[in-house]
Amino acid sequence: MFQILVVDDDKNTRRFLKTVLSDAGYSPLTAGSSREALNLIKEVPFDLLILDIMMPGMDGYEFTKLLRDCRYDLPILMLSAKQMPDNIKHGFLAGTDDYMTKPADEEELLLRIRALLRRAKIASDHKLTVGTTELDYDSMTVRQGEKISTLPLKEFLLLYKLLSYPNKIFTRIQLLEDIWGPSSESMESTVSVHINRLRGRFENNPDFQIITIRGLGYKVQIKERAL
Plot region of 165 (φ>0 → left; ψ -120 to 50 → alpha; else → beta): beta
Q: For residue range 48-62, what is the model confidence (pLDDT) as tens digits?
A: 999 998 888 889 899
Q: Which pLDDT belongs to residue 225?
A: 66
Q: Which pLDDT belongs to residue 51?
A: 93
- pLDDT < 70 regions, the chain: 1, 122-124, 182-183, 225-227
Sketch out the chain's domains with CATH numbers. 3-124 (3.40.50.2300), 127-226 (1.10.10.10)
Q: Which pLDDT belongs to residue 17?
A: 93
Please state the pTM of the whole predicted model: 0.58
Q: Which pLDDT belongs to residue 104?
A: 83
